[in-house]
Amino acid sequence: RLAQAARARVWATSHSLPSCHSPWTMKLSSSAALLFLAVAACGLPSAGAARAGANPLGKVLDLMADLAAKITREGEAEAKAYKEYFEWCDGASQSIDYEIGTATKQKGKLEAKISQLGGSIEASASKIDDLAAATAATASQLKNATAIRDKEAADFAAGEKELVDVVSTLERATSVLEREMARNPASFAQVDTSSARSILQSLSAVVEAAGLSTSDRQRLVALVQGQQADEAEDLSLGAPAAATYKTHSSNVFDVLEDLRAKAEGELADLRKAE
């Protein structure tokens, strides 16, 4: 009966652990098998030992009880470790599943973003081509505009020089007239007009470029009375009649001043336009 009770306790202990194919379960099964064999071996000679006056069964049972308790403790420890490992595996599996799901969603978003950016790249490349073509056209326009500007600058320089010469000429004519009137006021009307005509003829191209009308040039020829200071340039020209200047001698300075004001105004307009 004692042997049967021990075997029952071993069987109950071995079957109280989790039923899984883990290493500790196989170890427990092996220990239980060894214990069973030990009990069976001890139970067979029990009658002969009793007749010999010895009773080893109690000692065997104590050893079996200790072994069963040890196996129970080890089984519980192994079961606890297995449970903890199983829970860790379960948690790690759930975490990995979550990460896989998150990565899958992120992958879809990134693929959509890549597709969107691909379209943007194509649009940007097309725009770059358009801008390159526009830049080339602008460069050509700039070249043409630069050429036009250079020509306009040259025209301005030439026009400015001509108008400056006109103003200077009118100032010199006024100075000559004033000097002549101061030198011989009584004979002012008898001054040889060819000297004035000679001065104006040498500057006729400049006066015409300044935009003066034909009537203004004729008035300048008729009214400007000058006398050449350099006797080497004195020419034998016919003198006009005194009556030609009687009615104009008093207006000479006004006419010259008007002509100079007009030339200076055109010069100012030209510089402003530039």
Q: How confident is the model at residue 16 (pLDDT cuts 50, 70, 90)?
A: very low
Q: How many domains does the chain have?
A: 1
Q: Give the pLDDT of residue 161.
A: 87
Q: Cβ-count burial of 243 within 10 angstroms (0-12 exposed, 13-18 middle, 19+ buried)?
A: exposed
Tell whether 190 is covered by a domain.
Answer: yes
Pair 167, 271: CB distance under 8 Å: no
Mean pLDDT of 8-12: 50
Tell whether 133 is covered by a domain.
Answer: no
Would the pLDDT of 140 be above 50?
A: yes
CA distance 29 to 7: 13
Tell whether 95 is covered by a domain.
Answer: no
Report if pTM > 0.85.
Answer: no
Q: Which residue has the higher pLDDT, 232 or 151?
A: 151
Q: Give the pLDDT of residue 165.
A: 80
Would the pLDDT of 78 be above 70?
A: yes
Mean pLDDT of 153-162: 87
Tell whether 49 is covered by a domain.
Answer: no
Tell whether 184 is covered by a domain.
Answer: yes
The predicted-structure confidence for 35-62, as pLDDT tens digits, reads as follows 554 544 444 444 444 444 457 888 888 8
Mean pLDDT of 164-190: 68
Distance of CA 254 to the CA centre of its chain: 65
Q: Highest-confidence range of 44-58, 138-152, 196-210, by mean pLDDT?
A: 138-152
Q: How far is CA 189 from CA 141, 173, 178, 270, in A?
A: 61, 16, 13, 38
Would the pLDDT of 205 be above 80?
A: no
Would the pLDDT of 106 be above 50?
A: yes
List b or e across 4-35, with b for residues whose CB sees 16 or more CB atoms inside 10 angstroms.
eebbebbeebbeebeeeebebbeebeebbeeb
Tell whether 267 is covered by a domain.
Answer: yes
Q: Which residue has the higher pLDDT, 177 or 105?
A: 105
List b or e across 110-137, with b for residues whose CB sees 16 or more CB atoms inside 10 angstroms.
eeeeeeeeeeeeeeeeeeeeeeeeeeee
Q: How confident is the model at residue 267 (pLDDT cuts 50, 70, 90)?
A: confident
- Which residue's structure tokens are 């460069």? 139
Would the pLDDT of 10 be above 60?
A: no
The torsion of the CA quartet 209, 210, 211, 213, rounded to 10 degrees, works out to -90
CA distance 90 to 53: 59
Q: Give the pLDDT of residue 114.
A: 92
Q: Give the pLDDT of residue 119.
A: 86
Q: Give the pLDDT of residue 185.
A: 64
Q: Give the pLDDT of residue 26.
A: 47
Report the share of the chain in percent with pLDDT over 90: 18
Residue among 99, 88, 75 nearest 25 (CA): 75
Tell whether 96 is covered by a domain.
Answer: no
Q: What is the mean pLDDT of the chain?
A: 68
Both tokens of 83, joined, read: 């449970």
Mean pLDDT of 191-213: 45
Pair 245, 221: CB distance under 8 Å: no
Give the structural domain span for 175. Answer: 152-228+246-273
Tell whether 197 is covered by a domain.
Answer: yes
Mean pLDDT of 1-12: 49
List of residues 6+ apart from 196 with CB closer than 8 A: 173, 220, 221, 224, 225, 226
